[in-house]
Amino acid sequence: METTDYSSMSTSMLAALCGPDNRIIKQIEKHFQVRFLGKPGQWSIDGDRAAQACDAVHQLVEQLESGSLSQIDVEGILADGQSSKDEHNRSKGQGSVLIAGRRHIQGKTANQRTYLQDIDQNTLTLSIGPAGSGKTYLAVAAAVVALNSHEVERIILTRPAVEAGERLGFLPGDLQQKVDPYLRPLFDALADMIGIEKMNALMEQGRIEIAPLAYMRGRTLNDAFIILDEAQNTTKAQMKMFLTRLGFGSKMVVTGDSTQVDLPTHQQSGLLHALQVLEGVEDVGICRLTGKDVVRHRLVEKIVSAYEKREDD
């Protein structure tokens, strides 16, 4: 039996914690196979996994106090598989909240918190994982934090334009119009955190640059937070070219999904090659996210898991 005491919490906050018709509490009960007894906020939690349920409530309260509490937040916390090891990690700061513009963002799973710690502690971080596991969004959040705290002077976001064969000159429109379809996920993440108006202003000032990978060649990127997204679609030569753009005072994050390689079958993915080459290299962090780290709609995790199971058969 575990007990909680949130009697000092405001009525509106407590209502948000419980959810409409106690939906969130019922979800916790079903997930951990426990029962909540007593009045709201001062519960006695009964069941074999009462300690885990109590820990989940504590995380939900922290999330609520740092901003809002969405259904995605709830599902992410419940999917975390809370353990005493996770609690130890959180006490060391791995679960700290990033204030990225207008968003309060934190890793929802143990792997995501480790990912953020890797970004913080290493100059280069490689992250591989399925759609929805947070690899791009969390990297952009870390970049916004670094820019706002003046750790870097600019953010550079890039992706390979595989479908266009990097021959962007054949596409209609100016450069921005040519690359928009390939870089839209990065635009969306930035706009979600800092707003479209501020994003456009920072782009006009040159403090945020979004460009295709081909435009990185020959440059040295100093005092920048650089993110290479969809890196599974780089060749070995492109990956080496990109990694050697790293300049003084900069940090790099490379993200990709090994299940979505669009390169010709005879070409090895530059990201998969880099994971092998850079394993164990000092100041390089490698984080492997899985379907359990997916924090989109709960069906996305089930889809990813189903595909992973089929590939293992």
Model pLDDT for residues 197-218, shown as the tens digit of each residue: 888 899 999 999 988 888 888 8
The tokens of 143 are what?
A: 């970049």
Three-state SS at 70 = coil
CA angle at 263 for the pair 257 and 264, rounded to the nearest 5°: 145
Residue 234 three-state SS: coil
Helices (H), the chain: 11-18, 23-32, 50-66, 71-78, 84-91, 110-121, 135-148, 175-194, 196-204, 236-243, 270-277, 298-312
Average pLDDT over residues 130-142: 89
Please tell me the pTM assigned to this model: 0.66
Mean pLDDT score, 241-266: 90
Q: What is the CATH number of domain 98-312?
A: 3.40.50.300
pLDDT, position 103: 63
Confidence of residue 272 (pLDDT cuts 50, 70, 90): very high
Strands 44-46 and 35-37: antiparallel
What φ, ψ does residue 246 adopt, rounded to 5°?
-60, 125
Q: Report residue 310 as tokens.
A: 């089929």
Q: Which residues of the chain does CATH 3.40.50.300 include?
A: 98-312
Structural Rg of the chain based on CA atoms: 21
Distance between CA atoms of residues 245 and 304, nearest Å = 34
Is a pLDDT exceeding 60 seen at residue 269? yes
Give 40 or 93, the one with higher predicted confidence: 40
Among 34-38, 112-116, 270-274, 303-307, the least confident range: 303-307
pLDDT in tens, 169-202: 555 555 555 556 667 778 888 888 888 888 889 9
The pLDDT of residue 73:
74
Give me the pLDDT at residue 91, please: 38
Q: Which residues is 224 bridged to in the sheet?
A: 154
Q: Write out the residue limits of the CATH 3.30.1370 domain(s) in the chain.
A: 2-78
**Mean pLDDT for the stretch of residues 97-104:** 60
How far does the chain reach from its first CA to its final CA, in angstroms?
Answer: 41
Strand partners, 125: 253, 285
Q: Which of 14, 244, 287, 11 is nearest to 127 (CA)?
A: 287
**What is the third-level CATH fold of 2-78?**
Ribosomal Protein S8; Chain: A, domain 1 (3.30.1370)
